[in-house]
Amino acid sequence: MIKLKQIRIERAEGPCDLCIERTFDTLDQAQRWINNQRETYPKLGYDKHDVTITWDNGNKFSIRLDCQHPENKYYDGNNIILNVIQSVNSYINHKDEYELKPDDIIFLMAIKNNSYELPTNFNLKFKSKGE
């Protein structure tokens, strides 16, 4: 299994003093930082966060988190792992639309097949197209 090396998060929206870039060694640390800011997220809408996960072999996977206040009825955009899973599923299930290169598909399948370290305390269920 290829070990996780770093998680970089840049808050792109919200209070200016909180729009900073941070790096973390673990997803737990990164998720805690996201969660600790939850009261500063808008009650309507979301604040964008750019997240890049880097593994020991240099491969990177980037997503955008749409972080929301806990009172928002659609409060689920703050979970880093859930967003990684949803993004990987979307890319794989719509690979023709994204015009992915063969190496991109191999990388995404490796994430899906747990060749790349992600925390095991999360439910890593991937749905296939049509589920």
Q: What is the pLDDT of residues 84-113, one digit of tens each?
A: 888 888 888 888 888 888 888 888 888 888
Domain-located, residue 91: yes
Contact indicator for 126, 81 with CB cutoff of 8 Å? no
Domain-located, residue 36: yes
Would you say the C-alpha torsion 26, 5, 83, 65 has a positive or negative sign?
Answer: positive
Counted domains in the chain:
1
Angle at 73 between CA 121 and CA 65, to 5 degrees: 55
Contact indicator for 27, 17 with CB cutoff of 8 Å? no
Q: What is the pLDDT of residues 41-63, one digit of tens each?
A: 998 889 999 999 999 889 899 99
Domain range for 103: 4-112
Domain-located, residue 19: yes
Q: What is the pTM of this model?
A: 0.81
